[in-house]
Structure 1
Amino acid sequence: MILKQNDASDSGAGKALLAPPAPLQDSWGRVHRSLRISVTDVCNIRCQYCMPETGVQFTAPDRLLSYDQIVRFVEVAAAAGIQKVRITGGEPLTRPGLEQLIARLAEIEGIQDIAMTTNGMLLPKQLPALVAAGLQRLNISLDTLSAETFKLISRRDGLQQVLEGIDAACQVPSLGLKINSLVLRDLNLQDVLELVRFARERSIVIRFIEFMPLDGGRTWSDARMVSGAELRELISTHVGALRPVGPRDLTQPAQEFEFENGPGRVGFIDSVSAPFCSGCDRLRLTAEGKLRNCLFGKEEWDVAPWLSTETFDAQQIRKLMQDCVRAKYQAHGIGTPGFTPPERAMYQIGG
């Protein structure tokens, strides 16, 4: 069901979307066109940079937004200018029936791109249905090719399942596949070159992400973080010289480079040392229905009360979206006096 701007239709929309909404533009001129939706905070591994090893309390299933509620929100968001949706978690593939949600999102007028971020462990069996439903792009997390290091980082076994997920995705030429790698100086810096060669052999873009203060165990430090500049130098020296790929799209977190000595691309998400805040066009919806304007934001706007069949109110949701966008800071502030990490860890916000 597609909810058009002048059609309350029969989705439970108590109030129609009337006049075209104002753009989702913040105080710094950034127009927001991307939405990241966490469908669960549950995950089947426990990566050090994302969540604590023990004592994790996941959101009760009855507190998660239903797929109906997510679709209602995206209908309102699309009418307000959102064009891209990325499904995240936790591990999104732990939630049953995800292909049904993707199929419904693909039908919403204005949504041009549907992507997902996953650890890939549950991917092989689900991928055909996800692609058939309308999944267009996929990011798979892979931080090492060593089973021992994988277990140190994720505190679980599972490297072989991740590799099988990558192999399955490689069999779908239409799928925009990328590998995400987060480098911790004390754990997997030695694996970077092998990861680059692995991705290059398979014609996959690999992106290296700086360690951010979003880990549930609060172990982040400058000493553990490896900057994108250091990784570029390492790869250029030992694999091949790199050159930027065209002008940078400032709405995207990664700056991509290509090898001068042959095929292959590497991206760097320098979230700490050189953040892309100036072009950020993202909003985030947590699994229980809280809207956030930044990973590091302190405020949340609760849209869940307005998303049930009985209480649906498009105008109220739109107002909360506008309030959220207008409250967005110019930058996340890491490294500035007074910066404190958010209370939520990455898995609770949505990666």
Structure 2
Amino acid sequence: MELALIAGSLSAALVASNIASILLASSKLRRRSHVPPPADNPLPVSIIVPARGVEPFTQETLERAFSLDWPDYELIFCVANADDPVVRLIRSAIARFPVVHARLLIGEDRVSANPKLNNCIKGWEAARHDWVIIADSNVLMPGDYVQHLMSAWRHDTGLVCSTPIGSRPDGFWAEVECAFLNTLQARWQYAGDALGLGFAQGKSMLLNKPLLDANGGIRALAAESAEDAAATKLVDGLGLRVNLVAAPFEQPLGRRTLDQVWSRQARWSRLRRVTFPLFFTPEILIGAAVPLVLALIAAANAGFSLRLTVIAVLVATYLPEWVLALAKGWHLSPRTIPAMMARDLILPAIWVRGWLGGAVDWRGNEMIIRTKAAELDETPSRA
């Protein structure tokens, strides 16, 4: 009976922490609504877009970047290789939208083993304005994209960012990726923000150029394996905050395979393990797997129904997640709950993978992520 009490109490505590994280995140998140540009003297903004390869929604995300409701902004597209197929699409978009000041810069500055950071260096140095946004090419920018980022800046802010919110999944494994991105990763990041633990997310980052240049410039972001982790630590070191936008931006997914979902999650898991090990360690406890196992141990020892125990834990875990997605206008479908379950079955393996060495894939490169940025190796992928 003592084992049943201990296991049951631990299970209840984990389920309660899951619900608490949803409530905390909900307090920081808002449904998307239009934010008009400021009426007087809006600040000019440089938007750096590192790009590599063509994805299903590349054409649309490019067009969105040229259609922002901000009076004064420039676009700086950065591509490492001239033979990348995305070059043609970028040049075509620049030609179709001559009103927007846009440039395409090709080449790579190897200041680190982080391919994205290397690709962004030239864009940062070419940026003409004090306010700079670094935005991944697969972000579906709304018309008020700049407004959302700028409105989150406060007097004690060093960086504003947005987590990606998965949308338009095609197939079950894309639904699983939505379950990872939305009600798990975004939820915990906003819950952390509610507790004063701001972590940068590299999908969309608003930076003040003079501030960063006075503290090592963009090359300072090579201090960690991931540029967003380095930015988080740099901002914390300055006594400033990382703020999140109230309504995070979409990333349309399209089709995904299990291998693609595993590859992304394994890479991000390893990066979190290397850059923030103390926060990564308890990740094994999130999701339904551990509380369900503990609840079943308690039920078996106390003579309770195992079937009812499973139902109770799953309802207590997934119903609040579903309500969060509904309340914030995120993607939902009949496959959402099964996708959440599949995600939570994968989570323990992803967590274990985060502790192991070996190569992970980043857009056609095999990356070996070790415990220091200087030990992050990059080799051509065989894929």
TM-score by length of 2: 0.27
Higher helix share: 2
TM-score by length of 1: 0.29
